[in-house]
C-alpha cells in the first residue's frame, strides 16, 4: 500500500501547485470559476493527504516493516499507543502531520469565513496552497514516509524518551499551534494583496489565532511536563533551543492578540499587526526547522536530516514576500487615529507588546548566535540558561506588572486620580503579600520576592475587576449575584477569559519562581538501610528490584519516604533498558503533594551492586505550573466560546451589505 500513499501525496502536490498558481491567477485577473476551481483543488488535496495519512497509520498499526519509516520508529514489542504515535515521532511523519493539519485548518477557515471575507478568499486560497505546496514537495521529493525495503525481522523501535504519555499529545498540540498560525497569516497577506485592509480579516481570523495560540501554549506546558518527568534533571524548562522555538511564536502571537484589540477599537497599529502576524508564522516555520533540521544539538533533535536548506530557503522566501507586501500596501495601513494618552489601555497594550517582542527577539538571538558563530567563525558556543533567565526577569517582570495594570486602566484616556483609585486595593494587597513573604524569609531570592509581589498585584487586580464588574451588572438589573457574574463573563468573553488566562500566567510564575528560586537538592550514595534528609523529607533505601516490562527491563531502587515522622509510602526511581532500541533511560520518581503544591523528585543516577547513587530534589510550588495549564485551558475556552451578540452584529452587517448590493 506504500504505492497508494506515494500516489496520494503526488496527487496532493499536483492539486496544491494548481491551487496556488490558478488561485493566484484567478485572484489577479478576477476569474470566478478559476477561483472556485482552486478552492476545490485545496479541498481535494486535503482528501488526498488524508488518504496518505491513513495508509501510514494502517502500516503502523499493522507494523508493516516493509515501510522503512515503520521499521525505523517502531518494534514488535512497542505498545500500540506509542506505535500509532510514531506517526509524528519521525521527520517524515511529522511533515505529513503538518500538511494534514494545515489543509484541515485551511479548508475549514476558507469555508467558515466564506461570507465574511468573500473579497479576500480568492487570495487566501493560493497563499494557503503555496505554504502547503512546500510541505508536499518535501514529502514527495525529500522526505517521503512511503519509502519501502525488504522487511527486517524487527524494527529499530521508538526513542525511549518519546515513550511517555505526554509525548502522545505534545507533538500534535504543538503542530496545531504552529500550523494554526498559518491561517491568520494567510488572511492577513490576502487582505493586503486584495487591498481589503479593513477589520474583516481580523474578525475572520480572531478565533483561529486564539485557538492556535492556545494550542501552542498548552503544547509548551505539556512538553514541559514531559521534560520534567522524562528528561529528569529536576527542572521543567531548560531554555533548550527547540523549547525556545515554540516559545517565540507564542510570545509574538500573545503580542498580536493584545495589539489587534487596539486595531479593532482604535484603528491603530495596523502595520504593527501585519508584522506580528507574519512574524509569528515565520517563527513557527523556524521552530519546525530547528526541530527537524538537526542544526542544533538539543534534547529534541531526534534526527539529522537534509531538509534544513529547504526550510531555510522557504523561510527566506516568506520573509521577503511578506515584507514586500507590507511595504507595498503601506499607504493602506496608515492609522487614522493616534494615541490619545500615555496612560490608557491601548498605551498599556503597546508597552506590553514592546516587552513581549523584545523578549522574543532576545530569545531568537540566543538561539541564532551559536549557529552564526559556528558558520562564520567555526567556533562552537552555547548560550546557557543564565542569559535567558536574565532577560526573562528583565522583560518578564514589567510584563507581569502591566498584566495587572492594563485591566485597571480605561481605554482612550485615564486620569491619574481614577487610576489611583483603581490601583489602590491591588497595590495594597501586593505590598502586604511582599511584606509577609519578606518576614518569612523569601528575601533570599530578591527577584523571586519581587515576582511574588507582582503576582499578588495581578491576582488582586483580576479579583477586583471581576468583583466590580459583577457589582455593576448586579446594579443594572441582574437578579442574583451568580447571574450577574455569568452575565458579566458571557457579555465580554474575550476580556474576562483573558483575565483567567492572566491568572494562569501568574500561577505559572509562582510555580516557576518556587522551583527556580527556592528548591532544595542533595546528591548522595545510599546502602540498604541508610537514609538521607532533604527539606524535611527523609528517604531510606529499602533495596533494589528488577522486572521485565513489555519492551524493557526495569531496574528500581525502593525508598521509604517520611516527612516530620509521618510515613508517606515508598517511591521507586530507576532505569529502563529497552531491548529493541538498545538504549537505557532514567526513570525518575516523583511524589506530589497537591496541598503544598510541591514535589519530591528523586533520580537514581547509578546502581553499583546494592549501592544506589541518588539525587534528591524538593521542588516547592511546582504543581502550580501544571495547574496553570488547566486554568490557561479554561480561560482560552472562555475566550474562544462563540459570542451570540457578536454573531448578531455581524449578521446585521451582512444583511445591510447584501441588501445594499441587491439594490445597487
338 binds another protein (CB under 8 A): no
Residue number, 40 or 606, with CB nearest to another protein: 40
Tell me the closest approach of the beta carbon of residue 107 to another protein, in angstroms: 12
Say how far apart CA 210 and CA 184 lie, in whole Å.
10
Tell me the closest approach of the beta carbon of residue 201 to another protein, in angstroms: 12
Tell me the closest approach of the beta carbon of residue 258 to another protein, in angstroms: 16
Tell me the closest approach of the beta carbon of residue 39 to another protein, in angstroms: 9
Yes or no: say if 568 and 516 are a contact pair by the CB < 8 Å rule. Answer: no
Tell me the closest approach of the beta carbon of residue 11 to another protein, in angstroms: 5
Grid coordinates of 596: 503544598
Span interacting with another protein, options 277-285, 414-422, 449-457, 579-587, rule CB under 8 A: 414-422
Say how far apart CA 465 and CA 568 lie, in whole Å.
41
**What is the DSSP track for 412-453?**
S---HHHHHHHHHHHHHHHHHHHHHHHHTTGGGSHHHHHHHH
Residue 481: HSE in the Cβ half-sphere, 13 Å Cα cutoff? 4
Three-state SS for 132-161 is HHHHHHHHHHHCCCCCECCCCCCCCCCCHH
DSSP, collapsed to helix, strand or coil, labels residue 90 as coil
Of residues 549 through 608, those in contact with another protein by CB under 8 A are: none
Grid coordinates of 428: 495594597
Instruction: Give the contacts of 46 (CB within 8 A, at least 6 positions apart).
Output: 100, 103, 104, 106, 107
661 binds another protein (CB under 8 A): yes
3 binds another protein (CB under 8 A): yes
342 binds another protein (CB under 8 A): no
Residue number, 33 or 377, with CB nearest to another protein: 33
204 binds another protein (CB under 8 A): no
417 binds another protein (CB under 8 A): yes
Residue number, 202 or 216, with CB nearest to another protein: 202
Tell me the closest approach of the beta carbon of residue 468 to another protein, in angstroms: 4
136 binds another protein (CB under 8 A): no
Residue number, 595 or 664, with CB nearest to another protein: 664
**Crossing angle for the helix pair 345-377 and 270-293, nearest 10 degrees?**
40
Grid coordinates of 488: 458579566
Tell me the closest approach of the beta carbon of residue 411 to another protein, in angstroms: 6
648 binds another protein (CB under 8 A): yes
Tell me the closest approach of the beta carbon of residue 2 to another protein, in angstroms: 8
Grid coordinates of 523: 546528591
DSSP-derived secondary structure letter, 410: P
H helix or E strand, kind and range, residue 274 = helix 270-293
Choosing from 51, 339, 393, 542, the residue that interacts with another protein (CB under 8 A) is 51
Q: In what order do the strands lie in the sheet with 520-526?
A: 520-526, 611-619, 598-608, 589-593
Choosing from 477, 569, 609, 642, the residue that interacts with another protein (CB under 8 A) is 477
Residue number, 52 or 105, with CB nearest to another protein: 52
Of residues 250 through 279, those in contact with another protein by CB under 8 A are: 264-267
657 binds another protein (CB under 8 A): yes
Span interacting with another protein, options 7-15, 150-158, 279-287, 496-504, rule CB under 8 A: 7-15
Say how far apart CA 68 and CA 41 lie, in whole Å.
30
Choosing from 475, 548, 594, 595, the residue that interacts with another protein (CB under 8 A) is 475
* Contact code string over 394-413 relative to another protein, x by CB under 8 A: --------------xxxxxx
Tell me the closest approach of the beta carbon of residue 44 to another protein, in angstroms: 4
Number of residues that bind another protein (CB under 8 A): 70
Say how far apart CA 500 and CA 458 lie, in whole Å.
11
Q: How many CB atoms lie within 10 A of CB 300?
A: 18
546 binds another protein (CB under 8 A): no
* Contact code string over 8-47 relative to another protein, x by CB under 8 A: x--x---x--xx------xx--xxxxxxxxx-xx-xxx-x
634 binds another protein (CB under 8 A): no
Q: How many CB atoms lie within 10 A of CB 566?
A: 7
Choosing from 62, 141, 199, 384, the residue that interacts with another protein (CB under 8 A) is 199
Choosing from 1, 25, 312, 590, the residue that interacts with another protein (CB under 8 A) is 1
* Contact code string over 103-132 relative to another protein, x by CB under 8 A: ---------------xx--x----------
Span interacting with another protein, options 184-192, 398-406, 469-477, 588-596, rule CB under 8 A: 469-477
- Give the β-pairing of 574-578 and 583-587: antiparallel
Contacts by residues 585-594 (CB-CB < 8 Å, ≥ 24 positions apart): 585/160, 585/161, 585/230, 586/232, 587/232, 587/554, 587/556, 588/229, 588/232, 589/559, 590/229, 591/561, 592/623, 593/623, 594/623
DSSP-derived secondary structure letter, 67: B
Choosing from 112, 324, 428, 468, the residue that interacts with another protein (CB under 8 A) is 468
Instruction: Give the contacts of 562 (CB within 8 A, at least 6 positions apart).
Output: 537, 538, 540, 568
Residue ranges in contact with another protein by CB under 8 A: 1-4, 6-8, 11, 15, 18-19, 26-27, 30-38, 40-41, 43-45, 47-48, 51, 118-119, 122, 196, 198-200, 264-267, 408-415, 417-418, 421-422, 468-469, 471-472, 475-477, 645, 648-649, 653, 656-657, 660-661, 663-664
Amino acid at each position: 500500500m506504500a504505492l497508494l500513499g506515494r500516489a496520494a501525496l503526488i496527487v496532493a502536490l499536483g492539486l496544491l501547485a494548481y491551487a496556488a498558481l490558478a488561485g493566484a491567477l484567478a485572484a489577479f485577473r478576477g476569474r470566478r470559476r478559476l477561483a472556485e476551481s482552486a478552492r476545490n483543488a485545496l479541498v481535494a488535496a486535503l482528501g488526498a493527504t488524508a488518504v496518505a495519512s491513513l495508509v501510514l497509520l494502517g502500516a503502523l498499526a499493522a507494523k508493516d516493516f516493509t515501510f522503512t519509516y515503520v521499521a525505523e520508529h517502531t518494534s514488535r514489542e512497542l505498545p500500540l499507543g506509542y506505535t500509532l504515535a510514531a506517526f509524528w515521532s519521525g521527520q517524515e511523519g511529522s511533515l505529513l502531520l503538518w500538511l494534514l493539519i494545515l489543509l484541515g485548518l485551511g479548508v475549514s477557515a476558507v469555508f467558515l469565513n466564506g461570507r465574511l471575507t468573500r473579497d479576500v478568499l480568492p487570495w487566501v486560497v493560493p497563499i494557503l496552497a503555496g505554504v502547503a505546496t512546500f510541505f508536499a514537495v518535501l514529502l514527495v521529493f525529500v522526505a517521503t514516509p512511503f519509502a519501502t525495503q525488504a522487511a527486517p525481522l524487527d524494527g529499530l523501535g521508538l526513542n525511549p524518551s518519546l515513550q511517555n504519555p505526554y509525548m502522545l499529545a505534545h507533538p500534535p498540540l504543538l503542530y496545531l499551534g504552529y500550523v494554526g498560525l498559518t491561517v491568520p497569516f494567510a488572511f492577513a497577506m490576502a487582505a493586503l494583496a486584495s487591498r481589503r485592509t479593513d477589520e474583516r480579516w481580523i474578525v475572520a481570523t480572531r478565533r483561529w489565532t486564539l485557538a492556535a495560540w492556545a494550542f501552542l501554549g498548552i503544547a509548551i506546558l505539556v512538553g514541559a511536563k514531559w521534560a520534567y518527568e522524562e528528561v529528569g534533571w529536576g527542572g521543567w524548562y531548560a531554555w533548550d533551543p527547540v523549547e525556545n522555538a515554540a516559545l517565540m511564536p507564542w510570545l509574538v502571537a500573545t503580542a498580536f492578540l493584545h495589539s489587534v484589540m487596539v486595531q479593532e477599537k482604535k484603528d491603530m497599529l495596523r502595520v504593527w499587526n501585519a508584522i506580528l502576524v507574519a512574524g509569528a508564522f515565520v517563527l513557527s516555520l523556524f521552530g519546525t526547522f530547528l526541530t527537524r533540521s538537526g542544526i542544533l544539538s538539543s534534547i529534541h533533535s531526534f534526527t539529522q536530516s537534509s531538509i534544513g536548506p529547504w526550510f531555510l530557503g522557504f523561510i527566506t522566501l516568506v520573509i521577503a514576500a511578506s515584507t514586500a507586501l507590507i511595504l507595498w500596501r503601506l499607504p493602506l495601513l496608515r492609522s487614522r487615529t493616534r494615541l490619545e494618552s500615555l496612560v490608557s489601555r491601548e498605551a498599556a497594550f503597546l508597552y506590553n507588546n514592546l516587552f513581549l517582542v523584545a523578549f522574543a527577539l532576545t530569545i531568537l538571538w540566543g538561539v541564532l548566535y551559536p549557529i552564526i558563530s559556528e558558520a562564520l567563525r567555526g567556533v562552537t558556543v552555547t548560550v546557557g540558561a543564565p542569559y535567558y533567565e536574565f532577560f526573562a526577569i528583565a522583560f518578564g517582570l514589567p510584563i507581569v506588572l502591566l498584566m495587572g495594570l492594563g485591566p485597571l486602566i480605561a481605554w482612550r484616556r485615564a486620569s491619574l486620580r481614577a487610576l489611583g483609585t483603581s490601583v489602590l486595593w491591588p497595590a495594597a494587597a501586593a505590598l502586604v503579600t511582599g511584606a509577609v513573604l519578606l518576614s518569612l524569609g523569601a528575601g533570599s531570592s530578591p527577584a523571586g520576592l519581587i515576582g511574588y509581589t507582582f503576582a499578588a498585584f495581578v491576582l488582586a487586580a483580576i479579583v477586583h475587576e471581576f468583583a466590580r464588574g459583577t457589582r455593576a451588572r448586579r446594579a443594572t438589573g441582574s437578579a442574583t449575584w451568580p447571574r450577574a457574574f455569568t452575565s458579566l463573563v458571557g457579555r465580554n468573553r474575550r476580556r474576562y477569559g483573558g483575565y483567567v488566562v492572566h491568572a494562569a500566567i501568574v500561577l505559572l510564575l509562582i510555580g516557576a519562581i518556587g522551583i527556580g528560586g527556592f528548591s532544595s537538592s542533595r546528591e548522595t550514595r545510599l546502602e540498604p538501610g541508610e537514609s538521607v534528609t532533604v527539606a524535611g523529607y527523609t528517604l531510606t533505601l529499602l533495596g533494589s528490584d528488577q522486572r521485565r516490562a513489555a519492551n524493557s527491563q526495569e531496574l528500581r531502587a525502593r525508598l521509604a519516604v517520611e516527612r516530620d515522622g509521618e510515613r508517606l509510602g515508598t517511591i521507586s526511581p530507576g532505569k529502563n533498558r529497552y531491548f529493541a532500541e538498545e538504549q537505557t533511560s532514567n526513570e525518575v520518581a516523583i511524589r506530589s503533594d497537591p496541598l503544598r503544591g510541591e514535589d519530591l523528585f528523586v533520580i537514581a543516577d547509578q546502581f553499583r551492586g546494592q549501592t544506589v547513587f541518588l539525587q534528591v530534589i524538593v521542588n516547592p510550588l511546582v504543581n502550580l505550573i501544571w495547574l496553570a495549564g488547566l486554568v490557561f485551558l479554561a480561560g482560552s475556552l472562555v475566550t474562544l466560546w462563540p459570542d451570540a451578540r457578536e454573531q448578531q452584529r455581524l449578521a446585521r452587517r451582512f444583511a445591510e451589505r447584501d441588501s445594499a448590493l441587491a439594490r445597487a
